[in-house]
Homo-oligomer: A and B are copies of this chain.
Amino acid sequence: MNIGAAARHSGLPPKTIRYYEEIGLLKADRAQNGYRDYSGEDVHRLRFVQRARGLGFSVEECRQLLSLYGNSGRESSDVKALASAKLTEIDRKIEELKGLRKTLSHLVASCHGDDRPECPIIDGLAGRTDA
C-alpha cells in the first residue's frame, strides 16, 4: 500500500506519516521504485498513533505506547500509569482554562462594548483594579 492509501486508512496526512518516519516513530518498507510500502499492520499502528495523539498523548508518549502495543509481555499497569498521568494532566488543563474563563468573562461582562473608549477589559489587563 502506498503512502496515500495508508493516509486514507489511518486518518493521518502523508506529510505527517513521513514526519513520523523521519523521527523514527514508524518505519515502512520500500517498494522497488522507492515508494514507501505499508502493510495492514503498519496501518494499524498509524491509526493507533492517530487515536493516541487525538487523546492528547505527545509523540514521545505515543512512542512508549507503541512499544507497549507491540509487546505481548507488557503489564497493563504500565499503560494504565501512562494514561492516568495523562488524565491528571487533562484535568489540570481544564481547571486552568476554567480559571481563565472566569476572569475573562468577568471582564467581558463588565464592558459595555460601545463606542466609548472606557473599557474594563483593557483596564483589567492593565492591572487597574477599579475596573
Contact = CB atoms under 8 A, between A and B. Distances in A.
Interface stretch (A18-26, A29-37, A71-79): A71-79
B83 A47 contact: no
Contact of A80 (B93, B98, B119): B119
Contact of A56 (B71, B100, B122): B100
What is the copy number of this chain in the assembly?
2
Nearest to A47: B127
Contacts of A91: 101
Interface residues of A, number: 54
Contacts of A103: 55
6 contacts: A47-B127, A76-B113, A79-B122, A83-B108, A90-B101, A94-B101
